[in-house]
A and B are shown apart, each in its own frame.
Chain A
Amino acid sequence: MSETILAVENVSKRFAGRIALDSVSIDIARGAITGMIGPNGSGKSTLFNIIAGTLRPDEGRVLVNGRNITTATAAEICGLGIARTFQISRLFAEMTVLENLVAVARGRDDRAAIALALELLDFLEIRDIADRWGAELSYGQRKLVEIARALMLQPKIMLLDEPFAGINPRLQNRIVEHLRALCAKGITVFFIDHEMRIVLKECDLVYVLAEGRLIARGDTQTVRNDEKVLQAYF
């Protein structure tokens, strides 16, 4: 049982009286691929935003390596080695792909930043679009550039917000391979999605959220056959 790198403890959140999250607790193991699924409106994105620091929970805490980051800002959380992608890609439109990556690079060395950017573009097999304007990319290309940009921060934990939504199966498989490669390097991957097929196939651990509550947790076999999950989805 590998150690927990990210823990969410009894987090609750309300929006104008409506309960978005109800005392949810999850823990993410280091170096594993963990997934969270749930129907639309189940609170996945809210939980994600709380972990990433763009929202604050009403109750509960978020811990990284035992350190409480519940009240940390998004920028501080970046500094702790957590990077995220966005569900609707938020690339910098009036810049090339290469510039999108270099813009977020850390440290003072320009050459190292560019070298890292090129390396990541190679890793994701999108080197050929390095000079393309951000605004001109296709949907699938955007997703890949988002991932590359998050990786520029050399994170220990990658949070991916619906990385598989709306792209063709071949590209989905490619992304899965890249994620596996990341895990092999020791990076922890946590993503939310509602593509059940991929989540149930590729994750080491799966959480299922419905109506703000955690209804299942386990490896893919367990979750696949769980009564409550089947009920929530069908």
Chain B
Amino acid sequence: MKGLSPLFVAAIAGFVAIALPFVGSDYAISFSIQLLIFLVLAYSWNWIGGYAGYSHFGQVGFFGIGAYVGSLLNFHYGIPWYLAAIAAAVAGAVVALPLGGAMLRLKGPFFAIGMFGLARVLEAFALGFDSITGGGTGIYLKPVSDLRPLYYVVAAVAFLMLLLTWKLDNSRLGLKLLAIREDESAAESLGIPTTRLKIGTFVASAIAPAAMGSIYAVYLGFIDPPTAFAPNMELTTIAMVLLGGMGTVLGPLVGSLLLSVVNEVLWANYPQVYLACVGVIVLLAVLFMPRGIVNLGMKSGWLKIGRPLFRSLAARAEQAQS
């Protein structure tokens, strides 16, 4: 059994996550909330971009929808943030279903650009329909006194995403998505229901970002169109998954930790330098490491290769036969 097991790494991360609010400062908790939100976004994007192979630049659209739905419910009707987040998640799914049906018919780069355009349309609507959304002024929410409950909810969601991704990776559903990514029409000719699976993955990848959007608004105490639909957020999310490893369980975790380090060093003081660096990182990753760190690790052996469930089931079947 050579190499690190993903379970081991995840266990360590989990331990740190639970311990943090007890030992960490307010600043650490605040920073961690941001990190965890990005983690959730990265894991969501990983499903549609990494596994199903439908990369796109519009996930921040769902984030923004969630942010506004949650904020408006909170602002106008006083609905508590955790319920608003659930409503936001539902809103994300409801929008994603018909949208996916329409957009997923487009081929790769058209789908990516189309989703980018959609996010810009949503931003324009948020800006333009200012009687509903507060337009450029934005919406100011009652600030939350203690960030800890936010932290726990976000951490729980992040953990759930990791768990679901692990289950996906070790299931036949995961293999079907990878088949779509590798060769969609071959997959279709071999009986895989590609349309159904694509739309399902797309909807699934919209739920968590919508919820995170609404929580982010509560965290900031404020939301406006550039914040809700920030293209920089999109780039950072994609960079995390690309750098870490698309279509893997640990990729988004590795990527978001690494980029948050860069973030921590640069963002507060030199936001432009930070963003330019993220751009450089994505560029370098595309040029030299398109499959990401985790896949590099698998190929050089310090991480176990492939998806362990099938190998172990196969081994057990072999033993049963002999």
Contact indicator B192/A104 (Cβ below 8 Å):
yes
**Does chain B have a CB within 8 A of A53?**
yes
Contact indicator A99/B317 (Cβ below 8 Å):
no
Among the stretches A1-9, A72-80, A201-209, A217-225, the one at the interface with B is A72-80
Contact indicator A111/B313 (Cβ below 8 Å):
yes
Count residues on chain B whose CB falls below 8 Å from chain A CBs: 29
Cβ–Cβ < 8 Å partners of B186 in chain A: 86, 90, 92
CB-CB contacts below 8 Å: B279-322 with A = 306-307, 310-311, 313-314, 317-318, 321
Cβ–Cβ < 8 Å partners of A52 in chain B: 189
Contact indicator B188/A74 (Cβ below 8 Å):
yes
Contact indicator B313/A114 (Cβ below 8 Å):
yes
The residue from B183, B307, B314, B317 contacting A92, defined by CB atoms under 8 A apart: B183
Bound-complex Cα distance A64 to B233 (A): 53
CB-CB contacts below 8 Å: B72-115 with A = none
The residue from A95, A103, A118 contacting B192, defined by CB atoms under 8 A apart: A103
Given contacts A90-B183, A99-B310, A113-B172, contact A84 B189 (CB under 8 A): yes
Bound-complex Cα distance A73 to B196 (A): 15
Contact indicator A95/B190 (Cβ below 8 Å):
no
**Does chain A have a CB within 8 A of B136?**
no
Contact indicator A130/B314 (Cβ below 8 Å):
yes
Residue of B whose beta carbon sits closest to that of A109: B172
**Does chain B have a CB within 8 A of A227?**
no
Count residues on chain A whose CB falls below 8 Å from chain B CBs: 37
Cβ–Cβ < 8 Å partners of A65 in chain B: none
**Does chain B have a CB within 8 A of A102?**
yes
Given contacts A90-B183, A92-B178, contact A103 B189 (CB under 8 A): no
CB-CB contacts below 8 Å: B180-217 with A = 181-183, 185-194
- In this complex, the member of A54, A75, A111, A153 whose beta carbon has the largest number of chain B beta carbons within 10 angstroms is A75
7 residue pairs of the A-B complex, CB under 8 angstroms, read A92-B183, A95-B178, A103-B176, A111-B317, A118-B314, A118-B318, A130-B314
Shortest distance from the beta carbon of B75 to any chain A beta carbon, whole Å: 46
Bound-complex Cα distance A115 to B319 (A): 12
Contact indicator B313/A99 (Cβ below 8 Å):
no
Cβ–Cβ < 8 Å partners of B306 in chain A: 95-96, 99, 131
0/1 string, A66-94, CB within 8 A of B gives 1:
00000001110011000110100010111
Cβ–Cβ < 8 Å partners of A98 in chain B: 310-311, 314
The residue from B175, B188, B189, B191 contacting A99, defined by CB atoms under 8 A apart: B175
For the A-B complex, the count of residue pairs with Cβ-Cβ distances under 8 Å equals 90
Which 7 pairs of residues, A with B, have the shortest CB-CB distance?
A78-B191, A103-B175, A92-B182, A90-B186, A74-B189, A104-B190, A103-B179
Cβ–Cβ < 8 Å partners of A134 in chain B: 182
Cβ–Cβ < 8 Å partners of A149 in chain B: 190
Residue of B whose beta carbon sits closest to that of A155: B191
CB-CB contacts below 8 Å: A100-125 with B = 102-106, 110-111, 113-115, 117-118
Cβ–Cβ < 8 Å partners of B321 in chain A: 118
Shortest distance from the beta carbon of A52 to any chain B beta carbon, whole Å: 7
Shortest distance from the beta carbon of A64 to any chain B beta carbon, whole Å: 15
Bound-complex Cα distance A67 to B182 (A): 32
Cβ–Cβ < 8 Å partners of B181 in chain A: 94
Shortest distance from the beta carbon of A171 to any chain B beta carbon, whole Å: 22
- In this complex, the member of B172, B187, B191, B311 whose beta carbon has the largest number of chain A beta carbons within 10 angstroms is B191
Contact indicator B178/A103 (Cβ below 8 Å):
yes
Contact indicator B175/A94 (Cβ below 8 Å):
no
Bound-complex Cα distance A90 to B314 (A): 24
**Does chain B have a CB within 8 A of A32?**
no
Contact indicator B182/A95 (Cβ below 8 Å):
yes
Contact indicator B191/A104 (Cβ below 8 Å):
yes
**Does chain B have a CB within 8 A of A11?**
no
